[in-house]
Amino acid sequence: MSPLRSRFSPRRQRPVLLSRPFSQPGAPPAQLQRPCPHLRPRGPNARSLSSDRLSLRARLLSSAALIVVALCSALPASAQPTRAGAEKDPVLKAMLTELDRNMSQLQLPGFARPFFIQYRIEDVNQFETRAEFGAGEGASSLHQRVARVTVRVGDYKTDSSNSRGDGSIELAALDDDPIAIRSALWQATDQAYKLALDAYARKQAALKAVQTPPQADDFSRQKPLVSLDRPIALSFDAPAWTARAARLSGLYRSDPKVSASQRDVEYSEGSFRARAVTTWLVDSEGTIVRKSSVQYQEAFAVGAQAADGMSLARSYASTGTSVADLDSEAAFNQHAVDEIASLSALRNAPLVEEEYHGPLLMTADAATDTLYSLLANAVTATRPTLGTEARTSGPFASSYHARIMPDFMNVVDDPGLKTYAGKGLIGAYDVDDEGVPAQSVNLVDAGRLVNYLIGRQPVRDFPQSNGHGRAGIAGPAHPSIGVLKISAENGLSDADLNRKLLAMARDRGLSQVYFVATMGGPRTPRLLYRLTPDGKRELVRGAVLDDIDDRALRSSIDSAGKQLFVSNLYGDVPITVMAPALLFDDATVKRANEKNEKLPFYPPPPDGTK
């Protein structure tokens, strides 16, 4: 079963369909927009006039017309896309034709007609190759199209939607056949309409059972958008990357700097994957969108156990919007060798003390993971429970205009930021998955929460989408970050932060403080160092950060760095997080006390090359 097919339930017997199938595509409606109408020909003789017969007035008018022509021709081809232009794309033409048909015909007698229908088709082309212990495990490719149909009944104030997402899914044809595409949409529309009618009846009953009315409309009105980007195809050398992944996974025994510890390694994996997604989206309000995104990633992971059985892991990944964004093989291999070396050091490192309270410094790398876990979901506005007066749900539901971070910190989500320091940002996009233009949203200003990320489900005080309704493959759209940028005013250098950490230790009479280089989870350091006031470092293992939470975010950050670390997170909804190093005034470091598995009973196979 293909990876995408596995997301869906097995097909069941088809229910009775409410609308009739068709034998041929319907005629598209007439074009509604005409670019530069003032430049139409003036008559059959307009071009036959010789220049010597033009009056001065005619010369001036002609010159002005030429200037306007030049200005219009200087505009990019996509400056004023129209439905007529969209219908040159066979996928969009099929979608628009079927959308028109269903909006005019779809209605079960005695029940409400849809007031809104959206069609979204995603063309997914992906590749992945994996290797372990120096040998390839194979490569796989997938090319599939998935159609998702959303039908809403009721009206913008109260409709059939729910918090889990609405709609129906069908696989769609790959070869642009209009009947095949429309057939998939027809079936999904029929099913989505029936589900919407049932959901609308349930909601009406639920509303009668609560005293407090909803605090916002169910669906926001948006200005129709026509946006037609060119599809982007994957571009890479599959055999070369397959061989490179195999070499990467064998570094633990082929590189002389780390080969001495190869018998301690329990797994060593290398991988490369790439995905291109082209999305076509149309809705009954007139929005027409074609957009593409692409992401590439090379990754390495290595693991072992300490003598006491504690599982230890190290990993590294390079992710970008093109192969050129990824590390060179030499640079990536050096990172991998460093990870293997640090794994050996971790095996011999002492356990962290049982509990520590005091200053803690996180690198920008570690802080990016921490801030992502604390902020990414908290700053999105999702519909609260029916019958409550809450603005939204989540940890910041009641924090609007309240201080959630130090007053020297700011947070913005800017999907339009496509590169940073020469690196492509995979979280960037122009139009979200509800057909709304992406907006840069100032979320935290001088430490105070001043905004939320929102899609087309309004919440109290936020009636309109700000272009952050994002969806995974075939999934419903939900508010999500795109390019989340956390910064500090008057940030310090890494050296200054380290000096400040050691000064805190001396001022408080502490024998040690802690420094987190990398994280392995929201509160689990992977590389954690114990520092003495004179600057000596010792690697320790087995720790968990007990109280790095919303309270610490608000009250415990003493200082922050000025250099931002860029974290591109590959996935169905690609995102980017950028953040500086953080110095916490007070944090708790505790021993994790997790279960340790038994060590292997006998050693790994000997290296046949020796």
Average pLDDT over residues 280-296: 98
Distance CA 606, CA 262 (A): 10
pLDDT of 492 over the 50 cut: yes
Supply the pLDDT for residue 493. 97
pLDDT at 24: 36
- pLDDT on residue 79: 64
pLDDT band at 34 (very low <50, low <70, confident <90, very high): very low
Query: Which residues, 6 or more positions from 148, have their beta carbon under 8 angstroms from its beta carbon?
Result: 119, 120, 121, 122, 167, 168, 169, 188, 471, 474, 475, 476
The yes/no answer on whether domain 238-347 falls in CATH 3.40.50.2000 is no
More confident position, 57 or 282: 282
What share of the chain in percent tops pLDDT 90?
A: 78
Determine the average pLDDT of the residues in 93-100: 98
Could you tell me if 514 and 492 are in contact, meaning their C-beta atoms sit under 8 angstroms apart? no
Tokens, residue 466: 């700000």
Tell how strand 483-488 and strand 575-579 pair up.
parallel
Q: How far from 593 is each of 60, 308, 547, CA to CA, in Å?
A: 86, 12, 16
Measured distance CA(244)–CA(225) in Å, rounded: 43
Cα–Cα nearest to 529, from 340, 349, 304, 338: 349
Per-residue confidence (pLDDT) for residue 83, from 0 to 100 = 96
Strands 288-305 and 267-283: antiparallel
Write the DSSP string, 467-496: S-EE--TTPPPEE--SEEEEEETTPBPHHH
pLDDT at 609: 55
Average of per-residue pLDDT across 547-569: 97
Separation CA 198–CA 510 (nearest Å): 64
Phi, psi of 510 (to 5 degrees): -85, 140
Q: Which long-range contacts (CB under 8 A, 24 or more apart) does 48-51 make?
A: none
pLDDT tens figures, 510-539: 999 999 999 998 899 999 999 999 999 999
Phi, psi of 314 (to 5 degrees): -135, 150
> Comparing C-alpha atoms, which of 185, 193, 192 is closest to residue 281?
185
Region 497-505: what's the mean pLDDT? Answer: 98
Cβ(296)–Cβ(290) under 8 Å? no
**How many residues are listed for the chain in this entry?**
610
pLDDT at 32: 28
pLDDT of residue 42: 31
For CA atoms 598, 603, 607, 610, give the dihedral sign. Answer: positive
End-to-end CA distance of the chain: 41
**pLDDT at position 225, please?**
97
pLDDT above 90: residue 394: no
What average pLDDT does range 173-184 have in this prediction? 97
Per-residue pLDDT at 3 = 33
Token pair 């209605």: residue: 107
Is the CB of residue 176 less than 8 Å from the CB of residue 169? no
Tell me the pLDDT of the chain averaged across its residues: 87
Instruction: Kindly report, residue by residue over 252-276, the tens digit of the pLDDT.
Output: 999 999 999 999 999 999 999 999 9
Contact between 194 and 107 (Cβ < 8 Å): no
pLDDT band with cut points at 50, 70 and 90 for residue 100: very high
Share of the chain above pLDDT 70, in %: 86
Q: What is the pLDDT of residues 331-384, one digit of tens each?
A: 999 999 999 999 999 999 999 988 999 999 999 999 999 999 999 999 999 988
Break the chain into its structural domains and give their ranges.
Answer: 86-124+143-227, 238-347, 351-592
Residue-wise pLDDT for 127-169, tens only, equals 999 999 999 999 999 999 999 999 999 999 999 998 666 799 9
Would you call 155 helix, strand, or coil by DSSP? Answer: coil
Residue of 430, 432, 433 whose CA lies nearest to 416: 430
Q: Which of 258, 261, 264, 295 is nearest to 277 (CA)?
A: 295
Residue 57 clears pLDDT 50, i.e. is over it = no
Q: Are 577 and 481 in contact (CB under 8 A)?
A: yes
3-state secondary structure of 214: coil
Neighbours of 520 (CB within 10 A): 15
Q: 548, 478 in Cβ contact below 8 A?
A: no
In the prediction, which pLDDT does 246 show?
Answer: 98
Place 608 in a pLDDT band, splitting at 50, 70 and 90: low
pLDDT digits (tens, 9 = 90+) for 210-253: 888 888 999 999 999 999 999 999 999 999 999 999 999 999 99
